[in-house]
């Protein structure tokens, strides 16, 4: 005879835990922030990102480089008058990665809340 | 500012709430709401001389016991077409310039395109309707037709396009303002003024009310933006 409590729920067997699908490149506070801002702004200037995320230029450049290597953002350098400006745009892969990450975070929160409720019983 | 490396991952609730907060801040920085309201208010006030002194072409032919006339406010039609296309070009340009100076791009282009398309649609609708449903005085179009005419008339079309801007920017205050503006346009305020002013002046109060509503909205959003921004 099998104990009912040990039997996994059907949806637990079919769908893996949301944590397993998290992408390390995106699942990081600053990089998620960069992707969120770039998604909302369509195109965002380096200085704006630096101010909003409260980072040094070097630190922000490192994160941008990780995202650019992963093909999630596109970095363009140009001029506004005499001032050099760097613009960051989300690629379609970046858009998908951001949507996936947000979806997984929501799933994770839902899963944690469900577990908490079951533990309380 | 910090040079510390940020730990990977984190509490999912905090990550989501941070992302939402960042998105909200970007949306605030993208808005230049006072600009379209100001430009459209000026265009509305500018329509007054076009109505007052503009050329009116009427084509009359005898009917059963009188005559049927088709009246075309030629100057007014050309004024609204030119003024609103110019207005949307100025708004799109100004919006892009202001948002880019802050370091972000903006979603104003779909609004400008919708605005211009609605103007074209409005005039096309009026022309087709008048051609298909000629009315002999004192007949009046049905209540539904009158509602559609008011909605697609330039002041109504301005409101419809503003609804699109509110949706694009997820701007609840603009949505509420626009609904109020549309109520003023669709349910004209009439205290009997202009009843004996003649055909060239009866519309002035409504244009003044529409333009003033837009102007007040522009002032209100400017004030709200100034109060919100850190000095």
- The 3-class SS string of B92-107 reads HHHHHHHHHHHCECCC
**Domain enclosing residue B62, as ranges:** 33-188+204-221
* Contact across the interface for A29 and B1, Cβ inside 8 Å: no
* Contact across the interface for A43 and B104, Cβ inside 8 Å: yes
- The closest of A8, A90, A49, A118 to B25, measured between CA atoms, is A49
**Cβ proximity of B60 and B69 under 8 Å:** yes
Q: Is residue B119 part of a domain?
A: yes
Could you tell me which chain A residue has the CA closest to the CA of B24? A40
* Residue A111: half-sphere exposure toward Cβ, Cα within 13 Å: 14
**Of the segments B24-28, B137-141, B176-180, which one has the largest average pLDDT value?**
B176-180
B4 pLDDT above the threshold of 50 = no
Radius of gyration over every alpha carbon of chain B, rounded to an integer in angstroms: 22
Q: Is residue A11 part of a domain?
A: no
At what angle are helices B204-228 and B172-186 packed, to 10 degrees?
170
pLDDT at residue A45, as a whole number: 95
pLDDT at residue A2, as a whole number: 42
Cα(B91)–Cα(B32) distance, rounded to whole angstroms? 9
Structural domain count, chain A: 1
pLDDT at residue B107, as a whole number: 87
**Complete edge-to-edge strand list for the sheet that includes strand A73-80:** A43-45, A83-90, A73-80
Q: Is residue B196 part of a domain?
A: no
Cross-strand pairs, B55: none
Residue B207 structure tokens: 């244009």
**Domain enclosing residue A95, as ranges:** 21-120
Give the CA dihedral B79, B82, B83, B86, nearest 10 degrees.
Answer: -170
* Contact residues on chain A for B104, CB-CB shorter than 8 A: 41-45, 48
B76 pLDDT above the threshold of 90 = no
Q: Is residue A15 part of a domain?
A: no
Structural domain count, chain B: 1
Mean pLDDT computed over every residue of chain B? 84
* Contact across the interface for A43 and B105, Cβ inside 8 Å: yes
Q: Give the pLDDT band (50/70/90) at residue B5.
A: very low
Q: Is residue A59 part of a domain?
A: yes
Q: Is residue A5 part of a domain?
A: no
Chain B 173-212, residues with CB within 8 Å of chain A CB atoms? none
B112 pLDDT above the threshold of 90 = yes
| CB within 8 Å of B45: residues ≥ 6 apart | B207, B208, B211
Q: Is residue A32 part of a domain?
A: yes
Q: Is residue B229 part of a domain?
A: no
Cα(B194)–Cα(B55) distance, rounded to whole angstroms? 20
Please state, for a pLDDT cut of 90, what percent of chain B lies above it. 49
Q: Is residue B15 part of a domain?
A: no
- Residue range A97-106, pLDDT digits in tens: 999 989 988 8
| CB within 8 Å of A97: residues ≥ 6 apart | A23, A25, A26, A35, A70, A72
Q: Is residue B44 part of a domain?
A: yes
Q: Is residue B107 part of a domain?
A: yes
pLDDT mean over B80-91: 95
Q: Is residue B12 part of a domain?
A: no
Q: Is residue A38 part of a domain?
A: yes
pLDDT mean over A63-86: 89
pLDDT at residue B43, as a whole number: 96
Q: How would you write B138-179 as a 3-class SS string?
A: CCCCCHHHHHHHHHHCHHHHHHHHHHHHHHHCCCHHHHHHHH
pLDDT mean over A8-20: 54
Residue B152 structure tokens: 């697609």
The reply to whether A32 touches chain B by the CB within 8 Å rule is yes
Could you tell me which chain A residue has the CA closest to the CA of B30? A41
* Contact residues on chain A for B111, CB-CB shorter than 8 A: none
Residue B205 structure tokens: 């109060």
B197/B125: higher pLDDT: B125
Pairing between β-strand A43-45 and β-strand A83-90 as defined by DSSP bridges: antiparallel
Cα(B215)–Cα(A67) distance, rounded to whole angstroms? 44
- The closest of A34, A23, A97, A24 to A62, measured between CA atoms, is A34
- Residue range B31-73, pLDDT digits in tens: 999 999 999 999 999 999 988 787 766 677 676 666 666 666 7
Residue A108 belongs to domain with CATH number: 1.10.10.10
Q: Is residue A14 part of a domain?
A: no
Q: Which one of A17, A22, A27, A29 makes the best mutation probe of the B interface by having the most chain B beta carbons within 10 Å?
A: A29
Residue B224 structure tokens: 């709200």
pLDDT at residue A48, as a whole number: 95
**Cβ proximity of B80 and B119 under 8 Å:** yes
A40 pLDDT above the threshold of 80 = yes
Q: Is residue A2 part of a domain?
A: no
**SS3 label, residue B188:** coil
Q: Is residue B163 part of a domain?
A: yes
Cα(B66)–Cα(B86) distance, rounded to whole angstroms? 42
* Contact across the interface for A22 and B9, Cβ inside 8 Å: yes
């Amino acid at each position: 005879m099998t104990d009912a409590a040990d039997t996994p729920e059907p949806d637990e067997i079919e769908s893996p835990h949301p944590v397993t699908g998290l992408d390390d490149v995106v699942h990081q506070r600053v990089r998620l922030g960069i992707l969120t801002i770039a998604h909302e702004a369509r195109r965002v200037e380096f200085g704006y990102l630096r101010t909003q995320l409260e980072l040094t230029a070097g630190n922000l450049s490192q994160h941008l480089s990780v995202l650019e290597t992963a093909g999630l953002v596109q970095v363009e350098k140009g001029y506004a008058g005499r001032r050099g400006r760097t613009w960051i745009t989300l690629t379609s892969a970046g858009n998908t990665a951001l949507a996936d990450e947000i979806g997984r975070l929501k799933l994770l929160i839902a899963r944690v809340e469900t577990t908490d409720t079951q533990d309380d019983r | 500012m910090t040079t510390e490396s940020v730990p990977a991952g984190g509490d999912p609730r905090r990550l989501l709430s941070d992302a939402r907060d960042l998105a909200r801040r970007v949306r605030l920085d993208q808005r230049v709401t006072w600009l379209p309201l100001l430009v459209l208010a000026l265009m509305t006030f500018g329509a007054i001389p076009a109505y007052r002194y503009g050329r009116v072409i009427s084509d009359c032919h005898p009917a059963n016991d009188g005559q049927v006339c088709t009246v075309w406010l030629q100057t007014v039609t050309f004024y609204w077409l030119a003024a609103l296309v110019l207005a949307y070009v100025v708004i799109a340009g100004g919006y892009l310039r202001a948002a880019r100076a802050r370091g972000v791009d903006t979603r104003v282009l779909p609004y400008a395109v919708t605005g211009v398309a609605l103007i074209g649609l409005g005039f096309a609708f009026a022309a087709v309707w008048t051609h298909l449903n000629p009315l002999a005085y004192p007949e009046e179009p049905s209540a539904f037709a009158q509602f559609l005419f008011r909605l697609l008339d330039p002041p109504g079309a301005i409101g419809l396009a503003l609804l699109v801007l509110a949706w694009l920017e997820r701007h609840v205050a603009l949505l509420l303002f626009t609904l109020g503006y549309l109520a003023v346009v669709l349910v004209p305020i009439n205290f009997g003024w202009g009843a004996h002013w003649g055909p060239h002046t009866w519309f002035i109060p409504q244009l003044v009310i529409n333009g003033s509503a837009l102007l007040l909205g522009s002032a209100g959003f400017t004030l709200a933006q100034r109060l919100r921004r850190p000095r």
